[in-house]
Structure 1
Amino acid sequence: MTSRPKLLSIDAFSKTIEDAKIKTASGGIITLLCCVIVLYLIRNEYNDYKSIINLPTLVVDKEINKPLDINLDITFPNMPCEVITLDILDVSGDAKVDILKSGFQKFRITNPADPTNSEILDDESILSNDISLLEMATRGEDANGCGSCYGALPQDEGFEPKYCCNDCRTVKLAYAEKLWAFYDGTDIDQCEREGYVSKITERIQANEGCRVKGTTQINRISGNLHFAPGASDTNPGRHVHDLSLYDKYDDKFNFDHIVNHLSFGPSEHLKKGNLISASSQDGESEDSTTPLDGYRAELHKKNHMYSYYLKVVATRFEFLDKPTVETNQFSVITHDRPLVGGRDEDHQHTLHARGGIPGVFLFFEISPMKIINKEQFAKTWSGFVLGVISSVAGVLMVGALLDRSVWAAEKAIRQKKDL
């Protein structure tokens, strides 16, 4: 019996007797109002508990040494496929030249008014450089004897190995190494015999375009990928293109283009449409992985250079109910300028540099960091329960204070009336 007084002394929930309780109409109104507010807050807490947020984390990319896929789909309405060359250069000194035959498909656009109407190129372009010039030139004689290299390679008697330019492609590459103008191969027997001259002349006169679609790999360092006219040659300290055919026609050719698709890394998730399902909570969107899709550059200028400066960062999306997606996000700055330089037409205080070659250049810079976007629920179960309790307690506390204030005011008014 001695413990009972001690427990009574620490009771934080003291009670009043039933006869001391007074119920008022204002108290009933405040009680109903408190119930409505409590139900509203509980509903908000539940919605918050069930909502999904995207939590980004920045870490060092441990796969920085692995090659990176770049997925391209680009249309040139005013450039035949035979004239375009695709090269990749990076700061390490590595160069991948004329890679359109490796992992790419080329589509002829026979109707310039409708660039979407295209047919796959059914013949291999002689511009492709799938094997080296020396490998092709030292094959020896064929059915037509030892083809002439027209002075581009030594063919003197007794010279070992003896070079033979037996096809049009070999002659073209020999000319490119010598930095000689090849034009369209006119008066070169191999090109005339293979029908290349008549074929390319016909396609130029028909104002054909070209759509290039495929995937290639780049090193995860700074560099550039560019489309330019004519065969290319890379030597220490220089990279040049044969512009003879491009410059031959004043009224044809320009690098107006439509970027149908550009992305880095695996692109299967884009086809399946399962990227970033709930990341709209924090402003993310699928455009962060393909911001250039649908971009059109149509200035109708022949001697013009288009540049895209890309900042690429590896990204992983971890979902609650779907497989993890590894991709890459990138930002882009677009720029174009005339090769002659001079003042900008729209901003007279801006001076463009002079020089360069016509084409489309993608300058990329790969970040050594990686972003991990992880989906998770906004609240845990314990957080939800704590939020509900806090909401109920807070509303009841405020309701009690409001009820006491109203009761005190009513009591004071009643006393003044009695006087």
Structure 2
Amino acid sequence: MSSSRPKLISLDAFAKTVEDARIKTASGGIITLICILVALILIRNEYIDYTTIIARPELVVDRDINKQLDINLDISFLNLPCDLISIDLFDETGDLKLDVINSGLEKYRILKTGGKQSEILDDQPALKRQVPLNEVCTGLKEGEEGECGSCYGALPQDQKQYCCNSCSAVRRAYAEANWQFFDGENIEQCEKEGYVQRLKDRINENEGCRVKGSAKINRVAGTMDFAPGFSMTKNGRHVHDLSLYMKYEDKFNFDHIINHLSFGNEPNSANDYSSLSTLDGHSFLEHKKYHMNNYYLKIVSTRFETLAGKEKFDTNQYSVITHDRPLQGGKDEDHQHTVHARGGVPGVAFNFDISPLKIINREQYAKTRSGFILGVVSSIAGVLMVGALLDKSVFAAQQAIKGKKDL
């Protein structure tokens, strides 16, 4: 037992000094107080880190890629009546939806009266766009009696195979013949339905239009297109009747404010999900009639998991690149070395691309318990070590000054 004690003594890293050999100074007391204060601040910071909740992202393959995706939209066109706006949706699968206003989106007329702006739901029946020609322009069978409205030469009617008995039918017939429809003036069917007068009143009042609601898209690259005039697909081409838009040179443009744009489920909690709606509040107010605005969106499926892992919220976030150009093309006003392409249709297009990956954000504490303890111990040890070195330096300086005075 006695022989083992010298060996243990030789291993002692904490050598002690006797009380009589210790020297206490006022500067040492000040340094000690400072060290205690600094140590407490560092321990407090470690505790804040320990109790802070952060989200750690994880990237995985999205297994829901075959499910449809909701697009939640709220956009205001300040200088374009609702009757002139067509909303088309098409993607790389070949699916094409003309005028998706009847598929979850609603139009609200923006009225500008007395210097004030108000909105009302546009409850007027829209002219049909997607119905096949033989359903809109219904003909009479052989021997069948009934009224057969004129198509004004746009469709053959020598055997009453096509009948245009409504304003929608005449407009569809004009589109089939690639004729310009304008506002339907002098067309008996449109005059009787009040379409012509209603449209003129809205144009003269400089009405705008707000489109909001939700629509479904496939999880592949595609485009949601806002353009003026009747839209249709003919001979593999997607075309618009711009006759009314071009009739008024001093009216109409696609100045707009994106009040909200998101994809998938909407958050219903007080958590900050601002990254999900990057374009919220974005506006384009350049008063340019013949102009094209493009938004290129990269959409990534995202899941948020709470700390306990019991609550899961699946949604989507996106990044965006904006681009606009005049239809006449030419050099860019801001970058003279950039030349824009010529042609196109005025309007606003959201071009979206769906990522095959998914981000999972799991809530975790910023530090583990062992990390917190290690941080506290390291903070105290570091402060004491620096304090000891500072105290020795001050004490040595005091001794040197005292020695010079004694000389």
Normalization by structure 1: what TM-score? 0.84
Distance apart, 1:218 and its partner CA: 1.6
After TM superposition, list the pairs within 5 Å mapping 1:262-341 onto structure 2.
262-269=261-268, 272-276=269-273, 286=274, 288-320=275-307, 323-341=311-329
After TM superposition, list the pairs within 5 Å mapping 1:242-257 onto structure 2.
242-257=241-256
Q: 1:113 to 1:59 in 2, by over 3 A?
A: farther
Q: 1:206 to 1:417 in 2, by over 3 A?
A: closer
Q: 1:404 to 1:257 in 2, by over 3 A?
A: closer
1:318-369 deviation line (CA, Å, top 9, x unaligned): 3448943333222222222222222334444432221111111222222222
Distance apart, 1:97 and its partner CA: 0.7
- What secondary structure is seen at the aligned counterpart in 1 of 2:190? helix
Aligned to 1:145: 147
Aligned pair partner of 2:386 in 398, 402, 408: 398
Aligned pair partner of 2:332 in 338, 344, 355: 344
CA contact (8 A) 1:86 1:227 kept: yes
Inter-partner Cα distance in structure 2 for 1:115 and 1:361:
29
- What secondary structure is seen at the aligned counterpart in 2 of 1:110? strand
Inter-partner Cα distance in structure 1 for 2:267 and 2:404:
81
Distance apart, 1:208 and its partner CA: 2.0
Aligned to 1:279: none
After TM superposition, list the pairs within 5 Å mapping 1:170-181 onto structure 2.
170-181=169-180
Aligned to 1:356: 344
CA contact (8 A) 1:99 1:128 kept: no
The residue type paired with residue 90 of structure 1 is D
Inter-partner Cα distance in structure 1 for 2:157 and 2:182:
23
Distance apart, 1:233 and its partner CA: 1.4
- What secondary structure is seen at the aligned counterpart in 1 of 2:102? coil
Inter-partner Cα distance in structure 1 for 2:37 and 2:272:
40
1:194-222 deviation line (CA, Å, top 9, x unaligned): 22222222222332221111111222222
Which stretch has the larger CA shift, 135-144 or 91-100? 135-144
- What secondary structure is seen at the aligned counterpart in 1 of 2:252? coil
Distance apart, 1:86 and its partner CA: 0.5
Aligned to 1:280: none
Q: 1:25 to 1:4 in 2, by over 3 A?
A: farther
Inter-partner Cα distance in structure 2 for 1:20 and 1:137:
112
Q: 1:210 to 1:404 in 2, by over 3 A?
A: closer
The residue type paired with residue 278 of structure 2 is P
| Identical-pair percentage | 60
After TM superposition, list the pairs within 5 Å mapping 1:67-146 onto structure 2.
67-111=68-112, 116-129=117-130, 131-138=131-138, 145-146=147-148
CA contact (8 A) 1:309 1:364 kept: yes
The residue type paired with residue 372 of structure 1 is I
Aligned to 1:196: 195
Q: 1:2 to 1:139 in 2, by over 3 A?
A: farther
Distance apart, 1:49 and its partner CA: 1.5
- What secondary structure is seen at the aligned counterpart in 1 of 2:354? strand
Inter-partner Cα distance in structure 1 for 2:243 and 2:146:
28
Inter-partner Cα distance in structure 2 for 1:26 and 1:205:
86
Q: 1:112 to 1:314 in 2, by over 3 A?
A: farther
1:237-293 deviation line (CA, Å, top 9, x unaligned): 411011122222223222222222222222244xx54334xxxxxxxxx1x322322
CA contact (8 A) 1:183 1:244 kept: yes
- What secondary structure is seen at the aligned counterpart in 1 of 2:112? coil
Inter-partner Cα distance in structure 2 for 1:114 and 1:368:
48
Distance apart, 1:307 and its partner CA: 1.9
The residue type paired with residue 194 of structure 1 is E
Which stretch has the larger CA shift, 378-387 or 109-118? 109-118
Aligned pair partner of 1:385 in 351, 370, 373: 373
1:106-133 deviation line (CA, Å, top 9, x unaligned): 111231786841111121111453x433
- What secondary structure is seen at the aligned counterpart in 2 of 1:111? strand
- What secondary structure is seen at the aligned counterpart in 2 of 1:198? helix
- What secondary structure is seen at the aligned counterpart in 1 of 2:100? coil
Aligned to 1:33: 34
CA contact (8 A) 1:127 1:231 kept: no
The residue type paired with residue 290 of structure 2 is N
CA contact (8 A) 1:100 1:128 kept: no
Inter-partner Cα distance in structure 1 for 2:71 and 2:185:
36
The residue type paired with residue 208 of structure 2 is G
The residue type paired with residue 317 of structure 2 is Q
The residue type paired with residue 30 of structure 1 is I
Aligned to 2:229: 230
Report the RMSD for the aligned CA atoms in angstroms.
3.0
Inter-partner Cα distance in structure 2 for 1:400 and 1:98:
78
Distance apart, 1:236 and its partner CA: 5.2
- What secondary structure is seen at the aligned counterpart in 2 of 1:118? strand
The residue type paired with residue 320 of structure 2 is V
